Structures are given as structure tokens and as C-alpha cells.
Chain A
Amino acid sequence: NAGVTQTPKFQVLKTGQSMTLQCAQDMNHEYMSWYRQDPGMGLRLIHYSVGAGITDQGEVPNGYNVSRSTTEDFPLRLLSAAPSQTSVYFCASSLPGTGNTEAFFGQGTRLTVV
């Protein structure tokens, strides 16, 4: 059971570089989300999608773009990396629900911007 797969696991970027964090799920979940985890801040929602072709902003969307062309994939793009984007990024997926449906998380991508 693959579940939610994130690649890469680790990445170092220079300021101004761009990259895409990949996220794929094989559970046919409609909902997918991206979070970042920073010390003392918990997990904060960056962007989310309720289905293919539909995305919306979360709490901290600035500096990130997303698209959802298929149910399985939800990539997160950093257009011009900044040191403030150094963080651990988690992708999650879930079935639609009224809030009580559990989210399945990937193992995370640790990103360092120098």
C-alpha cells in the first residue's frame, strides 16, 4: 500500500531557484492538501484541492502555486525560493466529509533554502 508518496525527501535550494514538490496518492481521494511544519508553529495549510481542476488557498499561500490535473497528483511549486520557505512540507489526502474524515499524510519533504 503506497498511500501518499512525496518526492523528494530532502532538497537544498539556492535563493531564487524554482522547484516542484511532488505528491501522489493511490487511494482515489478527492481531497488533497499541502502543509508546512515549522518549529513552534504546528502544521499550516498552504493550498488545498477538493477535486481535479479545483484548488484554493489555505493559511499561508504566498510564494507557492498548485494545480490538480488528475485525482492522483497534487504538485506544489516554489517559483522563486526564499530562506523563509525553509521548512518541512507535508502532503495529505482524504475522502470528502464533514470534517471527521481522517487525512493520510506523506512522509514529508525537508526543504532548505540557502
Chain B
Amino acid sequence: DQQVKQNSPSLSVQEGRISILNCDYTNSMFDYFLWYKKYPAEGPTFLISISSIKDKNEDGRFTVFLNKSAKHLSLHIVPSQPGDSAVYFCASTSGGYQKVTFGIGTKLQVIP
């Protein structure tokens, strides 16, 4: 039973356009949500996070939106760049970092 779901295994976007990556969760106890980016043959790297008490967090080209009633969050990348091509993991925590649950990832391809 996946508690964090990323239903789109892949996404292709033209350079300069917006990329929207989606994530759904089922556990209402999750209190933080994080996005990680992963390039091939490398470990994941932290991108952006949001607390459950907020509905939006922005960092440069990256914005995460949280809709608690729908148990849904999304990552917006504007404008998309070829270097953004990677696998993006949605992750959620409850009760501290050690209880992190990851989604299966979405592979983003930004086409020049």
C-alpha cells in the first residue's frame, strides 16, 4: 500500500515552459513534504520542502503547492531548463526525519 503516490512515471516538457509534477498521499499524519531530484548514477539531492501548515513554498524557479484537503502536492518548475531533466521524488515525513516515505519518482525530460 503506497502512502505516497506519483502516478506519472514520466513527463516531457519544452525548454522554457512550465513543468508540473504531481504527488498524492494517503497518510493524514504526514507533516512535512519534500522533493528530491536524482540524476543517473548519483544520489538524490534535496530540492524544496513544505510544512503541512503552509500551502505554498517558493525557491527561485521551484514552487511547491500543498492541498491538504485533497492530500495532493505539486512541484512547479518555471521556466524549465534542460538541466532539470532528472527523476523527481516526492517524500513525506511524520514524527521526524527518520520516518521518510518516498514515492516511486517521475522522470522529467526537458527538451531543448
Which A positions have Cβ atoms within 8 angstroms of B? 4, 31, 33, 35, 40-45, 48, 50, 56, 90, 92, 94, 96-108
Contacts and interface: CB of A to CB of B under 8 A. Distances in A.
Given A42-B105, A99-B31, A102-B46, A31 B100 contact: no
A99 B101 CA distance: 11
A92 B4 CA distance: 20
A98 to B, nearest CB: 6
Nearest to A97: B97
Contacts of A104: 46
Interface of B: 4, 6, 31-32, 34, 41-46, 49, 51, 89, 93-105
Contacts of B96: 96-99
Contacts, number: 68
Contacts of A41: 104
12 contacts: A40-B104, A41-B104, A56-B98, A96-B96, A97-B96, A98-B31, A98-B32, A100-B51, A105-B45, A107-B43, A108-B42, A108-B43
